[in-house]
A and B are shown apart, each in its own frame.
Chain A
Amino acid sequence: MKSYVLRPLYVVIAFVCIILLARVFVVPKDFGIGERGFMYGWHRKGAEDFWRNFKVKYQTREYCEGCHAQKYETIMASPHAIIQCENCHGPAVDHPVKPEKLTIDRRRDLCLRCHAYLPYPTSGRRVIPPINNDEHYPDTECVQCHNPHSPGF
């Protein structure tokens, strides 16, 4: 065969070889098709561990009960038993250590999330005792009169 035919062919072969060689170094060792096959499972196995080891912030009320048993009892006996402690007190993370103290959200806004009156009878709002935000002691914090751990009077 003529050399002007072969020369570009050599260039192409060299190019392919370089790509294949580079692939060995660039593609991580744990790359594989995983359990879900090539279409859905082609990934780095290490990425699964990254998400598995992500930090948990919300520790749930059972975690709070360990030290604040009395508070836990009070709220569990009230209609607010359905609300997790951390919804108002903020995520515990590693609480007694870091943060040492949780910041309690005492704003009226927090209560209004559920208790502001909305004329939506076909939504879940129908089951909640509502207040008219403009008429029911506006600009006052709800906690001045109501105890969120046992609401009502």
Chain B
Amino acid sequence: MISRRDFIRLSLLAGAGAGLGVGTVRAQETAGPRSRWVFLVDTMKCVGCGLCVKACKLENEVPYDLPVTRTWVERYVITGEGQISVDGKGRSVEAGTVFADTPMGARDGYKQNVFHNYTELGSNVVVPPDMIAKSFFVPKLCNQCDKPPCVQVCPVGATFKTADGVVLVDRTWCIGCGYCIMACPYGVRFFHPVYRVAEKCTWCYHRIVKGMKPACVMACPFEARRFGEANKPDDPVAQVVETDRVAVLKPEFGTRPLVYYLGLDENVR
């Protein structure tokens, strides 16, 4: 018969042993050089040329003439108080009215100061130059969240996060239910019209594992998009993220995005 004292001593020992075992297994899993990539978007530098969107579509075989895209550039124009032109007719607006659009994901860039077929007003909106208080472009792409909601909702295990931090979709296993498309707070996912599965930005996984830059980063002439490795202390992008005033999109969702923005405005949603 085992005494109470012995029983407690044994169970404490067993517990400590089990804890130690789990600890060593964890350590083995995380050991070894693993890339932890990080993406930096400098909205102060973006000119809205859309070369990134073009490069992304061609690199990743996203149907070029359909309104789907893995990355896009948004245009924001914030007005002062006064008159804007809606279909050639004047209309007065309050100070701080926000106009934002991204026609075809800005695949062909922005060439005119016109919001064509503006959704809320259903017509062409022109904000005259002297009425523009703020105006800027914001490139968007998958944030490769550290806690991706799109992965949690997948009922079949078709989308997942790799050890190096990129969220991918298994095209042969996806059933096209669309839960992940609705779960993404950033609207990054879409339904691929050819493969009939969920599609998303992969940070050009096939390029970055070969040491290349993602296609959009390569195509950007103004270094508005930058790419680096977070676990290398001398990486210039990692240093900016570490030392500069960066922000992420929708931090209130708790998704912990890995895309950091410089010069993010409060009007960017």
Contact = CB atoms under 8 A, between A and B. Distances in A.
**Is chain B a partner of chain A in the same complex?**
yes
A113 B111 contact: yes
Contacts, number: 153
Interface string B160-203: 11110000111111000000000000000000000000000010
Contacts of B48: 118, 123-125
Nearest to B77: A120
Contacts of A48: 162, 168
B35 to A, nearest CB: 13
Nearest to B207: A56
Interface in A87-120: 87, 90-91, 109, 112-114, 116, 118-120
Contacts of A52: 205-206, 209
A51 B206 contact: yes
Interface string B98-133: 000000000011111100000000000000010010
Given A40-B151, A48-B168, A54-B206, A119 B135 contact: yes
A40 B109 contact: no
Nearest to A125: B47
B202 A114 contact: no
B47 A123 contact: yes
Given A34-B163, A40-B161, A52-B209, A87 B109 contact: no
Contacts of B45: 124
A60 B218 contact: yes
A119 B151 contact: no
Nearest to B54: A87
B136 A123 contact: yes
Interface string A45-80: 001101111111110100000000000000000000
B173 A58 contact: no
A57 to B, nearest CB: 5
Contacts of B151: 39-40
Interface stretch (B2-10, B219-227, B232-240, B242-250): B219-227
Interface class of chain B by DSSP: loop
A40 B172 CA distance: 18
Nearest to A40: B161
A113 B51 contact: yes
A56 B136 contact: no
A31 interface: yes
Contacts of B202: 51
B20 interface: no
A28 to B, nearest CB: 8
A124 B29 CA distance: 44
A86 B212 CA distance: 15
A53 B206 contact: yes
Contacts of B148: 40
B211 to A, nearest CB: 11
A58 B215 contact: yes
A90 B129 CA distance: 34
Nearest to A91: B58
Task: List 9 tightest A-B contacts by C-beta distance, closest first.
Answer: A43-B160, A119-B129, A113-B109, A47-B170, A54-B206, A35-B163, A120-B135, A124-B47, A113-B49
